[in-house]
Structure 1
Amino acid sequence: MILTRREAVAWAAGAAGTLTLGDAAAAQAPSPDFVTRKGTQLLRFGKPYRITGANLWYAAWLGADAAFGDRARLIRELDRLQALGINNLRIMAAAEEGPLRNAIKPGFTRADGGANAALLEGLDFALAEIAARGMTAVVVLSNFWEWSGGLQTLLWRATGRFIDMGDPAHPWPAFADATARTYANPEAMALYRDHVRSLLVRRNSVTGRLYAQDPAIMAWQLANEPRPGGSNAAIAANRAAYLAWIADTTALIRASAPHQLVSLGQEGTQATNGDAALVAEAHAAVDYVTAHIWPLNWGWVKGDDLAGTWPEGRRKVEAYIADHIAVAERLGKPLVIEEFGFPRDGEAHDPASPATFRAAYYRTIYSAVEASWRQGGVVAGSNFWAWNGEARAAHADYRFKDGDRAYMGDPPHEPQGWYGVFDSDAGLHALIRDHVALALTV
């Protein structure tokens, strides 16, 4: 990574103003509660760290002491997750305000690039509460998709141009192809690195601990589902810039946070149009392989015929897991299935509707994870998508509108209740608890 003189000066000044000699000494002697990697295993306190996780992207929003926040609800949700045995949460630490139609507001950075202090303090609060429960977090540093602004918004800030996901004038894969140009745009990448560095030198306003020295941060994740493009032509054209972005950002993070892990956040071969070699190359610099699995979104099942399409869907799920186990084995690194989601029966959104096939899907994922645990394999664990908790849709059409505060695991561009697990989903809770119980015994 080549920094401009402005970036180098800003980075040195920020680090000097934040780090002290005592901090530097502490950085050389990490506590045993950091999650570390040894070969294909994740370890904590010297023992295998089996991830029984969930996605809670909105934790910082709830944690904000502001009109858009709800700290009391965050505490309740974390207590519920702890009671289920969840030990790892994947949370957003980036959101960029701009012109994209479906991007959530507020963001961590405003449209003019200025930081949102309230949301950053919400992240502080969320990390403090996660740490207080002995949990860890995967901190996501940007997004390939539009619902948090993401890379497309950084490209807009750099160029003045953008594409909305789902715009009929720019059908798929135009959005993905356009967003992937971010990796080669120096101005957009400078904005991305500015945000990454601001977190690396941040001191938590609740705990007083530097983020880079906080064992509650298991991993810094480069982005949510970063792709090198949508079309094969774009993937080929962006390949070098994509791999350079991964390697350079990983090096930047490791230089300041040597005791925390780095992950990519990629879906796997779905992100590379089936190119497993590119998946392996993309994960060469980071600490573990990630895979996301979305049978409905990818057309493996039909929401109005889950009974008829699930058997073949399950076969594809099992094959996808096997393919990514092979990638992880090839690299000698752990694999985390960090997103997996499935609709309720009939693709309903009401929490009172049954979730028979979702339970079967969760069981399929968990069975693969558990088999790897028993065999001493590469799968470190999983994070279901996502926790809705006590939130309920505010509108009859189950759509999120600007100003809504009942945040769910279903992000603002999706129907509210589509994939998330509610506090009333007793059957799914029992399934999760059984999985956690096994994690504690293998």
Structure 2
Amino acid sequence: MKSATCVCKVIFLLLVVGLVCEGQVVVSSGFVETRGTGFIVDGSPFLFNGFNSYWMMTVASQPSQRSKISDVFREAAAAGLTVCRTWAFSDGGDRALQMSPRLYNEAVFQGLDFVISEARKYGVKLILSLSNNYEDYGGKAQYVQWARNAGVPVSGEDDFYTNAVVKSYYKNHVKKVLTRINTFTRIAYKDDSTIMAWELMNEPRCQADYSGKTVNGWVQEMASYVKSMDNKHLLEVGMEGFYGDSIPDRKQYNPGYQVGTDFITNNQIKEIDFTTIHAYPDIWLSGQNDNLQMAFVQKWLTTHWTDSRTILKKPLVFSEFGKSKKDPGYSESARDAFLYTLYTKIYELARSGGGIGGGLVWQIMAQGMDSYYDGYEIVLSQNPSAAAVISQQSRKMTALEHA
């Protein structure tokens, strides 16, 4: 039996997120919008603490596994988490959503329907990503391979950004997802305020052109296409934050290399509503000690926050960060300290000048998902120390939202 203290805390958090009604959370039906360098819902400021759970659609495609989605949303809501980023793509391969261009698996689509309907019940807004830079779940390599199989002359993965046939495949996927009628809610995705934003691509990179110009052309074309179909939802690129050639001085803040994106020009495109950054210092600065890695992340965040506010004049979301159990010398206390330090920085920036909506930790999972573990997984019900750090940040961001 829960203690009275625990019950009171849960009820408080539910009241913060929305209204308790039949065991579920009922929140505003309003769409998330931007006003200057901040987010708003129904005209009021929207600050948040959030999480990534990329796996939700795939797991939910098996009805017997859907309780895992419900468990994560329930535990997330209790921890005050109000934004979740997840995949709305799976191209080719096992349990694919898009089995081949224009051919979709209805069972997997219904899995995504369920994810959206559960998020709605628990008062969680969704950022849905539409494709992947990497081969996991298909990605741009699968799109190019489909074109090659159709006899289209393509030379490599980065033709994803330039080849007309490949781009038509991507546009078809965008249209298919945005116009989907949810089988649980009967609401078209493009009309559902549960969705906070669309993401064009998870971590776009382009080895064929490190300047950022090739990706820029693709973002402009695809952002215009998305907005022509759906002007209710926010749109972001999916960027990690790497700087390109437009402001050479900014490249000093990269972790020693470029990846073919340009944080400034890619986000200057008017159809892009907010900026994003990711940070994995354990990978990007492998071999450096924790203090140097943390110093990098704090500078990474502050620099992008400044550029988002002053140059781009758009809000920022720190949409991926975490600390892996696979790191040498990992401990739960080190992970919690990493999260606490980043959360504190996010809060301080939001309090001092706005311009940042919140952060999305990578990643929250349910019990019994060992096959999905990547080292960054946090099961809230099994990691009380991490849950406490996360809940504290949620309370602080909510208090700031109402200040």
Q: Same fold (TM over 0.5)?
A: yes
Please say if 1:257 is aligned against 2:230: yes
Instruction: Tell me by how many angstroms 1:128 deviates.
Output: 0.7
Aligned match for 1:57, one of 54, 58, 61: 54
Please say if 1:441 is aligned against 2:371: no
Please give the alpha-carbon distance, in whole angstroms, between the structure 1 residues aligned to 2:282 and 2:100: 33
- Structure 1's 347 and 78: CA in aligned 2 closer, same or farther, altered over 3 A? farther
1:149-203 CA-partner distances (Å, limit 9, x unpaired): 1111101111249xxxxxxxxxxxxxxx943331011111111111000112111
Please give the alpha-carbon distance, in whole angstroms, between the structure 2 residues aligned to 1:111 and 1:50: 39
Please say if 1:290 is aligned against 2:276: yes
Please give the alpha-carbon distance, in whole angstroms, between the structure 1 residues aligned to 2:230 and 2:149: 33
Please say if 1:336 is aligned against 2:279: no
Please say if 1:375 is aligned against 2:326: no
Aligned match for 1:426, one of 384, 388, 398: 384
Residue 307 (structure 2) aligns with:
327
1:28-79 CA-partner distances (Å, limit 9, x unpaired): xxx861000011000112221112110011111232245xx61122112211
**Percentage of pairs with the same residue:** 23
Instruction: Tell me by how many angstroms 1:234 deviates.
Output: 2.8
Q: Which amino acid aligns with 1:343?
A: S
Please give the alpha-carbon distance, in whole angstroms, between the structure 1 residues aligned to 2:259 and 2:160: 21
Give unpaired runs (5+ residues) of structure 1: 1-30, 99-104, 162-176, 303-308, 394-399, 401-407, 409-415
Whether contact under 8 Å (2:200, 2:236) holds in the other structure is yes
Q: Which amino acid aligns with 1:312?
A: L
Q: Which amino acid aligns with 1:311?
A: N
1:91-121 CA-partner distances (Å, limit 9, x unpaired): 10011115xxxxxx21111146520111111
Report the 3-state secondary structure (helix = DSSP H, G, I; strand = E; otherwise coil) of the residue aligned with 1:296: helix
Report the 3-state secondary structure (helix = DSSP H, G, I; strand = E; otherwise coil) of the residue aligned with 1:122: helix
Residue 20 (structure 2) aligns with:
none
Residue 76 (structure 2) aligns with:
81
Q: Which amino acid aligns with 1:80?
A: E
Report the 3-state secondary structure (helix = DSSP H, G, I; strand = E; otherwise coil) of the residue aligned with 1:269: coil
Please give the alpha-carbon distance, in whole angstroms, between the structure 1 residues aligned to 2:331 and 2:213: 46
Aligned match for 2:163, one of 182, 185, 194: 185
Q: Which amino acid aligns with 2:334?
A: F
- Structure 1's 301 and 426: CA in aligned 2 closer, same or farther, altered over 3 A? farther
Instruction: Tell me by how many angstroms 1:140 deviates.
Output: 0.4
Whether contact under 8 Å (1:344, 1:357) holds in the other structure is no
- Structure 1's 328 and 178: CA in aligned 2 closer, same or farther, altered over 3 A? farther
Give unpaired runs (5+ residues) of structure 2: 1-27, 245-253
Instruction: Tell me by how many angstroms 1:300 deviates.
Output: 4.5
Moved more, 277-286 or 430-439: 277-286
1:243-267 CA-partner distances (Å, limit 9, x unpaired): 1211121111112211110011110
Residue 167 (structure 1) aligns with:
none
Report the 3-state secondary structure (helix = DSSP H, G, I; strand = E; otherwise coil) of the residue aligned with 1:110: strand
Instruction: Tell me by how many angstroms 1:345 deviates.
Output: 7.5
RMSD over aligned Cα atoms: 2.3
Q: Which amino acid aligns with 2:312?
A: L
- Structure 1's 241 and 357: CA in aligned 2 closer, same or farther, altered over 3 A? same
Aligned residues: 354
Residue 148 (structure 2) aligns with:
159
Structure 2 length-normalised TM: 0.82
Report the 3-state secondary structure (helix = DSSP H, G, I; strand = E; otherwise coil) of the residue aligned with 1:218: strand
Aligned match for 1:94, one of 82, 85, 89: 89
Q: Which amino acid aligns with 2:141?
A: Q
Moved more, 113-122 or 133-142: 113-122
